[in-house]
Structure 1
Amino acid sequence: MYLVAIRALKIQDLIHSSSRLKEVAGGSYLLGRYCSRISSRVADHVTAHDKGKYIFYRSSGGEVVAAFEHEKHAREFLRLMKEGYRRLFGRRVISSTTPIEVGDNGSGSLNELHRDLAIARYSGFAPTAQVQNPYVAICWSCGERPADRVLTDDSGSDEPTVHHFCLSCDLRSKSFEDYKSEVEQKLKGGFTTIPSGVDDLARHDRSGYVAYMISDGNSFGHFVREIPDLDGYKGFSEDLQETIDECLFSVLDDAKFLSNNQMAPMLPLMTGGDDLLVLFPARWGISMTLDFVARFEEAAKALGKYSNSVESLSMSAGVVICKQTLSHKTVHEIGEDVIKSAKYTSKRSGLSSALAFRVLAGSKYCDRDASNTNLATGCTCGGFRRSEIEEILAMRRELDDLSSSHRRRLKQCLSSHSPMLDSERERVLKLISERNEDTALKVREMMSHKPKSIFAVLEGWEYLESHRRNS
């Protein structure tokens, strides 16, 4: 048997290259179909004449790993899959340079394959020229590729709107309904449908805010490299996807009371592999993300049987809470910074699950270091270990009767280390004590022992509600 692999690079950038959320979700669905259905059809095509055998070891998450009985079939499979990816997404994909012959037990071939992919990844591609022609229309959605079709939208206005689309963005848009149907079959908690757009989730918040969850596995690459054989790699790939789907949609079991209809308070935009992008209502985004991370950490213990790694699998997640009108491309850029904070915390705490969040007040934002607080635009809160986030949710419930003016003044005191604010801090605590002495004592203790946690409570005050009825 001859082993080959194809892997898509910068999947997040690929998915977010289109401008509308439906095309983001449709792009994720198309990538999944490329890995599973299209790869299977291509394998059938290249082996049809000689009746050669083949085995798929992985076909999800932007990666396809397969073994063919004949080397010529493996080479032809690589050629057709790379061409298909280029036509479907307008980009190139890395692959193993030559088919790798597999021994009797497959030992060593998997590591050799990963080394081949790593070389291809860091070798990069030769630059390609962008189309520059005044007579060629550029795609309205992605703004990158030449448009080859014209679509008319006659809804919501007196005059129809004409847009030019490239093949890839047109296919993504048309794939959304198929993606929606596929996701709705996995729903739990009595829900039967998912939102069609961000507006459906923004209705849960009086200010029109939503929560974007971006998640990524911790040291999954090291875990995979310690898998000793191809059969174990195949079993791990299949079980990992099932585990992630089960943990994500199980969050809905405790969320039935959030909605009085059959629409789930969740819109998965990107699934497959350990990279996820999911929309939640802003009020429960942090709580639902924490629930997902906790469920995965527990369920992933069963996956340890596939690898010789001594480290257990865990998940880091970043939550960006913002206005529904903020561009998903902008949210993606911010989310990359937020999840870095969670990843850093995870590594410092021995690769345990971690979470960070950022609340963006209004539709504007500015890039800055996480330690530099700007209350007008929000700051990154995190990262925190899973147990610390649970503690923050409990602190939020304990301080429920803090007034908005007291919260604002406390947050200003905590955001600066100036000695001049010590007197202001005491004045605020005195005012809180006049209203509720027990709350003042709790605040004083938290500020002394857990200033980072209480600042996170004050920063995310409106968005630290539990999605569980009895919490």
Structure 2
Amino acid sequence: MAEQTKEWLVSFDTDRIKNYIFATNNLKEIRGASAILVEQDSIREEVLDKLPPEERLKGERIYSAGGGGAFLVVSDEEPQKLIEQIERDFRHATKTGSITAVCVPLERNWESLWFGKNMDKAAKKLQQRKSRKGELGVLPVEPYMRLCDACGNRPAEKRFEKDASGDLLCESCRCKRERGMDVRKASFAEGFVAQFKKYAQKFPNYKVWEEARPPHDLNELGSLDSNGYIGFLMIDGNQMGKLLSLMETKERYLKYSEKLKTKVSEIVFEVLGKVTTPIHGVLPFEIVLVGGDDVMLFTTANSAPILTTKILEKFEAESLEILQAAGLLREDLWERLEKAYSEEEISIARDEPFLIHKKLTMAAGLVLCHSNYPVPTIVEIGERLLKNAKKKCAERKIHYQQGAIDFQVITGSATDLDLARAMVPHNRPYTRTDMEKLVRHAQGFYEQRFPKNQLQMLYDACHRQSQGHGTIAALSAIARLKKRDHRRVLREFFREFSPEGESFLYWPWRLVEKIKDTGETELKTALVDLVDLYDFVKKETDHGKSH
């Protein structure tokens, strides 16, 4: 008897996506890699038609964004040819990138069962296969072959003749650079620049955005603020993986994934349009990735802190729509979960934050550094900061009620985050609302032209790691300041970031904690964080002046 037709869930995800995007220091290749991934997401549905006629499958795309996605297909046997086609197409397009795909069979009458079970099963199988895949090594080729002038890892294959560089590039970097050059053309319809400009048509000053071009490189982006510094934002949603197993039907998952994809893009575009404006006809940002709940972008340094807080704030305010699309705010959700799962299988608790507060949150890592700082190191530090922010969100006091942000200003050549923060009594990471307060106070100091020599004196005193020394320096500064507004902004800052209910005798310290095991006192102060931010904040209205 012939085997009955089965339905399969095919799930896939890009391997080490950051390694592919940030393989070089050049914005040309980063922009090109980003555009290639966007194109792959948009055309992946065509993979079903690429199979030979005798192997062609009926199916539909459930989701495709940010380098990952899923298909539902009908096949008498395991759709291995489809998996091979997905992986082969991605390799052909990226040259050096790879994607992992798996499939799981759906039970008969699966539409009457909880669809999230299948998504959860596919996610676990995908993770297992990804963990078993070894990273392809790069064979040593020197001194027999010339290395690529861009990535420095792979053999150069051809001289690039479409710009004046004359660089010898490997095939992957050549494709990235060509696509990056295409993105800068006004007629190019793919990529995040085109998506942003399409969204910007609703802005009152749309003409300004339409005529603006992307920055030539990160040095040009850094020069837009006249300080040579750039910001790198890495943002990720909290607890998003928990939601996947909670989708009751395929339709719910479709609505959830599409709403998440469009909502995050709209939020990023909207905030960019409100906080920034083109400078000398150049876009003051470079969007690297907006896929699902993942966001990565370069910006001018002066706009980066405000952009980060605004994106997190707007996502929290509008995430209710995502939860509603997923069907996770239904009054009978828990009863339906108990019917579909055993008590041990249910992946959430009754007091789950997104159920109580009816919103989702994000965490962010923000790096502020010179535009010529090595991009792979920027990304590595950004990932560390993002992990710190996620830990902050998970703290018992916060418990995902709001997002969190960790940031680092890199002024020297330090490449290790722990080394850069050694002996610095910083108070990072911050909750979103505390980061907003910190930025607002830094703007106030900037607006009042607070004496930088006084800030430096306080900054140095805090580094003495002495509670008494820091407090004496803080009180002495208030006594010495001649202008009333200077004394006012300093007092207001200390009151905002001092222990609640404590007197001025604690200034400038925010927390005095005991280090576990040693019993020694650990001093923390928001003042050093304010000083670090001082040169990178302006009033929001200042961002558009003289541009």
Which residue is 2:12 aligned to? 6
Matches within 5 A, 1:30-429: 30-37=36-43, 39-46=44-51, 48-49=53-54, 52-71=57-76, 74-87=79-92, 88-96=94-102, 98-101=103-106, 103-104=108-109, 105=111, 107=115, 108-125=117-134, 128=137, 130-132=139-141, 134-152=143-161, 155=164, 162-180=166-184, 181=188, 182=190, 183-187=193-197, 188=200, 189=203, 190=206, 191-192=209-210, 193=212, 194-255=214-275, 258-259=277-278, 262-305=281-324, 306=326, 308=328, 310=352, 311=354, 312-348=359-395, 349-351=398-400, 352-362=402-412, 364-368=414-418, 372-373=422-423, 382-399=428-445, 400-418=448-466, 419-429=468-478
TM-score (norm 1): 0.87
State yes or no: 1:16 paired with 2:22: yes
Deviations 1:309-337 (A, max 9, x none): 64232211111111111121121122112
User: Partners of 1:417 and 1:10 in 2: how far apart?
Assistant: 41
- Could you say if the C-alpha distance between residues 290 and 423 of structure 1 is closer, same or farther in structure 2, counting changes exceeding 3 Å? closer
Does the aligned pair in 2 maintain the 1:58–1:65 contact within 8 Å? yes
Larger deviation: 364-373 or 224-233? 364-373
- 1:72–1:263 CA distance, 2 compared to 1 (3 A): farther
Separation in 1, partners of 2:55, 2:443: 67
CA 1:237 to 1:468, structure 2 compared with 1: closer, same or farther past 3 Å? farther
Aligned partners of 2:543 and 2:375: how far apart in 1?
A: 33
Q: Deviations over 1:248-285 (max 9, x none)?
A: 110134236x4465543221122323222212111121
**Structure 1: distance between partners of 2:221 and 2:138:** 40
Number of residues of Structure 1 aligned to a counterpart in Structure 2: 459
Task: Give the TM-score of the pair, scaled to structure 2.
Answer: 0.76
- Once the two structures are overlaid, the 10-residue window that deviates more, 358-367 or 10-19, is 358-367
| C-alpha deviation, 1:366, in angstroms | 4.2
Which runs of no fewer than 5 residues in structure 1 stay unpaired? 156-160
| C-alpha distance in 2 between matches for 1:21 and 1:237 | 29
SS in 2 for 1:271: strand
Residue 3 to residue 441, structure 1, CA distance change in 2 (3 Å) = closer
Aligned counterparts of 2:136 and 2:444: Cα–Cα separation in 1: 57
What CA distance in whole angstroms lies between the structure 1 residues aligned with 2:34 and 2:371?
21
Distance change (3 Å), C-alpha of 1:102 and 1:85: farther
Q: Which amino acid aligns with 2:174?
A: D
Whole-angstrom distance in 2 between the partners of 1:465 and 1:19: 28
User: Is residue 28 from structure 1 mapped to residue 34 from structure 2 by the alignment?
Assistant: yes
> Any conservation in 1 of the 2:31–2:180 contact (CA below 8 Å)?
yes
Whether the aligned pair in 2 keeps the contact of 1:321 and 1:360 (CA below 8 Å) is yes
Residue 382 of structure 1 aligns to a residue whose secondary structure is coil
2:194 and 2:423 map into 1 onto residues whose CA distance is 40
Structure 2 equivalent of residue 442 of structure 1 = 492
Q: Summarize the Cα distance change of 1:219–1:443 in structure 2 as closer, same or farther, 3 Å threshold.
A: closer
8 Å contact from structure 2 (residues 8, 106) kept in 1: yes
Deviation of 1:304 (Å): 0.5
Question: Is the 1:19–1:329 contact (alpha carbons within 8 Å) kept by the matching residues of 2?
Answer: yes
Check the 8 A contact 1:24/1:270 in 2, yes or no.
no
Cα offset, 1:42, TM superposition: 2.2
- Provide Cα deviations, 1:284-327, integer angstroms capped at 9, x if missing partner: 21011211111122222111121546423221111111111112
Return closer, same or farther for 1:253/1:150 CA change in 2, 3 Å cut-off: closer
Change (3 A) 1:455 1:71: farther
Higher mean C-alpha displacement, 135-144 vs 275-284: 135-144
| Corresponding residue for residue 332 of structure 2 | none
Percent identity (aligned): 19
Query: For residues 99 and 424 of structure 1, do their structure 2 counterparts lie closer, same or farther at Cα, with a shift above 3 Å needed?
Result: closer
**How has the CA–CA distance of structure 1 residues 220 and 443 changed in structure 2, closer, same or farther, with 3 Å as cutoff?**
closer
Q: Where do 5+ consecutive residues of structure 2 fail to align?
A: 1-6, 329-347, 500-508, 511-524
CA RMSD of aligned residues (A): 2.9
Q: Which moved more, 1:316-325 or 1:102-111?
A: 102-111
2:490 and 2:57 map into 1 onto residues whose CA distance is 75
